[in-house]
Amino acid sequence: MASEYDQLITTIKAYHKDADLSLVEKAYKLAHDAHKGQRRMSGEPYVNHPMRTAIRLAEMELQLPIVIAGILHDVPEDTDVTLETIKKEFGEDVASIVEGVTKVGKVKYRGVSRYVENMRRFFIAMAADARSLIVKFADRIDNLSTLEALPPKKQYRIALESLEIFAPVASRLGMGEMKGTIEDLSFRYVYPNDYETVKQIVQQRYAAKSEYINTVMEIAEKELKRSGVSVDSMVGRLKHLYSLHRKLKKYDNNITKIYDLIAVRLIVPDIAQCYSALGILHNLWKPLKGRIKDYISQPKPNGYQSLHTTVFAMGGEIVEFQIRTPEMHEAAEYGLAAHWHYSESNKTSKLPERHKRWIDELARVHKEMVKGLKDIESIKLDFFQSRIFVITPKGDVIDLPEDATPVDFAYAIHTDIGNKCSGSRVNGELTRLDTPLKSGDVVEIITDKNRKGPSPDWLNFVKTSMAKTRIRTYAKKSISDWIKGVLPGSN
């Protein structure tokens, strides 16, 4: 155990040289004594788990209260030590984070109503102090890393809820590294056969392509430096297994359609050099049409920024480049958590407004939702699946779930626009109302002021719960008005 404590201290000192480590030592001693005699299913001392959680948080270079909360996160729930004691010994800030983790509790699939209630608690706790969510993710990653000791049914349940709840939320909050780790650790337990297949594909393709990618990077770096672009770093990034699995399903398991199995990630000092690097790479190698994506000028809904381009490199082989600044890279890896990275100037615990709006909306929806399976599936669809950003003619960005339609877009702007929607233009072209939209589409809604309301047929293709609710509400009102008009005494 001492070695894990030493590892934690070494990790903290690497990014916070002047840290007051007395509270860290105090937290370790309290956790060690409180969990004394407790063991995990593997037989190891229980305290190893919160210490590994804290190490992961420290590796993310997070502020000390979050790391300390990682050490203490299971103490109020699993021992006799109360939250009041933590507040007294470690202060309000640490206690607030630990309380949030405790409120989340253990999200389990035990019937529909229990699932809904746990989900509601999960997001209300997030809204109260989002730092507790970061600790919960680190806690979940360690639990997933040690699933071998559990019975198969429990392995499957924990992995499934991680795929269906934790990973999509991490994605929505821009926490790319945590999302990928959670998915890959869960993948082998939920889809074991697919996991082995994808793992073999990656091993074979990586062995064949890694040397080629290294040569590409050498040529690219030499040309960039010759042209005056400063290269902070350039690395080949292997695609996460679960992400590759999803993409393979999309392309009928045709690996030749996957261009970013190994993507080259290029970090340069500033935005101007991002665009300079893009031009130099395109001058060096021909870009693949339709594969240039500017997420710097138009960030993804979760705040992700980067330039993506795919080129025909030597011998005509296709290679994807991702170009970003160090700040963009930090935000892409850590998302929400990047807001609480330690620095002398950053001592705030306030939630970034973009993330706060989304978390508040989730808490509101869960508070209001009816306890039924259909509602759960609707929430998963709206909030947990992949997101796209669609643009109004005035340049405003609307955040929608993948495969949303112009009708979903219309209702996202205003109920009246949705109700009176009669047509749409996507990128200047007249388009059917059931057309799936793609990120970056510019959408204009054509309205008819004489239209009485939405068509019930729209329910067959709309994706968002907002659109479905508004259409159903109008349909019920229309039936009610009709009954009042034809039945005597119904008024």
Query: Long-range contacts made by residues 149-155, C-beta under 8 angstroms, separation at least 24?
Result: 149/40, 149/41, 149/42, 149/43, 150/41, 155/189
**Residue 266 to residue 326: CA distance in whole angstroms:** 10
- Of 4, 20, 33, 78, which one is the catalytic site residue? 78
Q: Cα-flanking dihedrals φ and ψ of residue 229, to 5°?
A: -90, 125
- Of 6, 33, 59, 77, which one is the catalytic site residue? 77
Closest CA to 446 of 406, 484, 488: 406
**Residue 116 to residue 120: CA distance in whole angstroms:** 6
Known catalytic residue: 223? no
Known catalytic residue: 434? no
Within a 10 A sphere around the Cβ of 210, how many other Cβ atoms? 12
Mapping DSSP onto H, E and C, the string for the chain reads CHHHHHHHHHHHHHHCCCCCCHHHHHHHHHHHHHCCCCECCCCCECCHHHHHHHHHHHHCCECHHHHHHHHHCCHHHHCCCCHHHHHHHHCHHHHHHHHHHHHHCCCCCCCHHHHHHHHHHHHHHHHHCCHHHHHHHHHHHHHHHCHHHCCHHHHHHHHHHHHHHHHHHHHHCCCHHHHHHHHHHHHHHHCHHHHHHHHHHHHHHHHHHHHHHHHHHHHHHHHHHHCCCCCCEEEEEECCHHHHHHHHHHCCCCHHHCCCCEEEEEECCCHHHHHHHHHHHHHHCEECCCCCEECCCCCCCCCCCCEEEEEECHHHCEEEEEEECHHHHHHHHHHHHHHHECECCECCCCCCHHHHHHHHHHHHHHHHCCCCHHHHHHHHHHHHCCEEEEECCCCCEEEEECCCCHHHHHHHHCHHHHHCEEEEEECCEEECCCCCCCCCCEEEEEECCCCCCCCHHHHHCCCCHHHHHHHHHHHHHHHHHHHHHHCCCCC
Instruction: List, by residue number, the catalytic residues.
Output: 77-78
